[in-house]
Amino acid sequence: MTERTVLVTGAGRGAGHGIALALANDGGTVVVCDLDPETSDKAAELVRARGAKSISIACDVSDESQVAAMFARIGEEVGPLDVLVNTVAWIDPPGPIAELPTDRWHKAIRTNLDSVMYCTRAALAMMIPRTKGVIVNISSLNGTRGFPDRPSYGATKAAVINFTQTTAMENRQYGIRANVLVPGGIEGERVRLLREMAAQRAKEHGDTPPPRIYPDPPMEMLDPEWIGRYVSFLISEDGRHINGQALVIGEAPRSPLQAMFPDI
């Protein structure tokens, strides 16, 4: 068991929720934050039920001032941060670049990329003076190559990979490590919503669903708590020699479409 203090953003649902629960098994203090206060509070209750300490902070991490207030509260209530896990992302409706609204593009950047920078910068202010700390970001296979109809999401997730590597290079001199996990499809609400949005888009454009081009079985989806186990390893003493890496996890898709639509 550990006495470290960990912040998991987006811990109310999805990958962030699974990561927070998995890290709760290691003890210490897990600070959970989510845009929705209710889901954040419920996540904190579940973390405490597993034996770790926890506080819940409702925060829009795409808002610089709210991030500053959250880190000030963390410093006051639980002390300096040892680990930061950035998971927040917005799954925007699919569509081609030619039809991409500017406001949707900017919202993806604010939610998926600005949030990582704001939280990383605030965490480094706590970590550098203590010459220790670990940062883990969550990207996506969408950030490793082009995917049709996913321009803003893919661009921001590619930027998260580069930003993480730069974080590692700049801060290794302070004993701080940074890595990024690159998962494929994750079980839960996000994939369901994306599939519904894609089906609606096809209906609106009079398109027919793409044919099944690969045989069964479909790609196995990642369980959110399994992602948490990978994070637990990366932030542990056993993971101390892993730094500045983009680690692909989950079954590799056989085509770009399978990353989000594993049953085709």
Enzyme catalytic residues: 153
Q: How far is CA 173 from the centre of its chain?
A: 25
CA distances (Å), 136 to each of 64, 69, 94, 244, in order?
A: 20, 21, 27, 10
CA-to-CA distance for 167 and 46, rounded, in angstroms? 31
Whether the link from the prior residue into 217 is cis, omega within 30° of 0, is yes
Cβ-defined contacts of 167-174 (< 8 Å, 24+): 167/120, 167/124, 167/135, 168/243, 168/244, 169/244, 171/124, 171/127, 171/128, 171/133, 172/243, 172/244, 174/127, 174/128, 174/131, 174/132, 174/133
The residues, any chain, with a CB within 8 Å of residue 121's CB and separated by 6 or more, are none
**40 and 73 Cβ atoms separated by less than 8 Å:** no
Q: 181 burial class (0-12, 13-18, 19+ CB within 10 angstroms)?
A: buried
